[in-house]
A = this chain, B = another copy of it.
């Protein structure tokens, strides 16, 4: 356990997908009622809504809109599909601006029909193409390295070192990284690479959950903080030593938790945030 436990909820942000059974209006009301101060909005939660009005609704609940999830999925061996992906990322920037958030998280993508090197080049080209519009909209782009078990089809960026390399190559104040403990906890270079993105002022987001033993599903069996083996307080201490003091975002995909009463689940999240982060 951390020597430096979080005593209040001022830095707690919850992702809408964490409480997927709730629509965004229910999520906002329940988060706010329970003293949660941040929300990260998944784009599916905005479907069919006026995005500006939804952003205002969130602010009326005194919620900080920490980020929009997610852009990315740049690589494809078919140039026409890469163009469609870029179009979708442009839309995401507009949605972020309309919503009133300053950050988009990028799940960068990977195409198993081509080499990882090709996918990585297409990711970098895709992000580079977005920078002018991101800058104009005042929205930063966070490269989120994904666990190597997703290298085939979700992200060819699988370590924080790769995300840092790409951020440095792009060399823009509008591009940085998102650190998610689920994807990165196993990496022996994690402390060093967290310090590195801190030095670049590029550490834009910090996501938490836990890794259960055993894990039964590649996507939707994440654990609540404290249920697994990730040294979350240690990683938080590295992130804070690197200068990050923003929201700590709870992002849990879990078929099991989505089956529960979400009000009770939210109480578990709050308790775990204070005890195990």
Chain A residues near B (Cβ < 8 Å) = 112-113, 115-116, 147-149, 151-153, 158-159, 162, 185-188, 211, 213-216, 218, 228-229, 231
Contact = CB atoms under 8 A, between A and B. Distances in A.
Nearest to A230: B152
A112 B228 contact: yes
Given A149-B149, A228-B152, A229-B152, A215 B218 contact: yes
Residue from the set A185, A215, A218 with the largest chain B CB neighbour count within 10 Å:
A218
28 contacts: A112-B213, A112-B228, A112-B229, A113-B229, A115-B231, A116-B186, A116-B188, A147-B148, A148-B148, A148-B149, A148-B186, A148-B187, A149-B149, A149-B215, A151-B185, A151-B186, A152-B211, A152-B213, A152-B228, A152-B229, A153-B213, A153-B214, A158-B188, A159-B188, A162-B188, A214-B218, A215-B218, A218-B218
Contacts of A159: 188
Contacts of A185: 151
Nearest to A218: B215
A118 to B, nearest CB: 11
A147 to B, nearest CB: 7
A53 B263 CA distance: 64
Q: Indicate how many identical chains form the complex.
A: 2
What DSSP secondary structure best describes chain A's contact surface?
loop
- Output the residue of A149, A187, A215 with the most chain B CB within 10 A: A149
Contacts of A112: 213, 228-229
Contacts of A162: 188
B158 A186 contact: yes
Nearest to A165: B188
A162 B211 CA distance: 21
A89 B29 CA distance: 57
Nearest to A212: B152
Contacts of A158: 186, 188
Contacts of A186: 116, 148, 151, 158
Contacts of A214: 153, 218
Contacts of A211: 152
A153 B229 CA distance: 9
A113 B227 CA distance: 11
Contact of A147 (B116, B149, B187): B149
Contacts of A188: 116, 158-159, 162
